[in-house]
Structure 1
């Protein structure tokens, strides 16, 4: 898979610590912030854990 764009669409306030750390590991710290990352299996697994907080689109 190529590059993917991940955008945080919901706040992580009140979420479990594990989900907060996953968002930070993806490089997301604020709402509506976007990052472009390589679509590796590790990144896709992290996205799957916080799929209710982010939106993903393939570039």
Structure 2
């Protein structure tokens, strides 16, 4: 997982949500991602890392 010096992580939604589990859709919403290719910079915490690990097939962690 890419980690900036400032303790943040940037996440991009790279795959659509059609056909995914409902709890995965809720996790995407919890990360603050909405539409395809939306990007959020979040504080790097164990909770955020857990959501990213759960959604590894939908999101991309950017530098």
Deviation for aligned residue 1:57: 2.3
TM-score (norm. length: structure 2):
0.87
Provide the secondary structure at the position in 2 that maps to 1:29: coil
1:40 to 27, 38, 45: 45
State the alpha-carbon separation in 2 of the partners of residues 56 and 17 from structure 1. 22
What 5-or-longer segments of structure 2 have no aligned partner?
none
Equivalent residue pairs, number: 58
Aligned to 1:17: 22
What 5-or-longer segments of structure 1 have no aligned partner?
none
Structure 1 runs of 4+ with >6 Å offset: none
TM-score (norm. length: structure 1):
0.92
The answer as to 2:11 corresponding to 1:6 is: yes
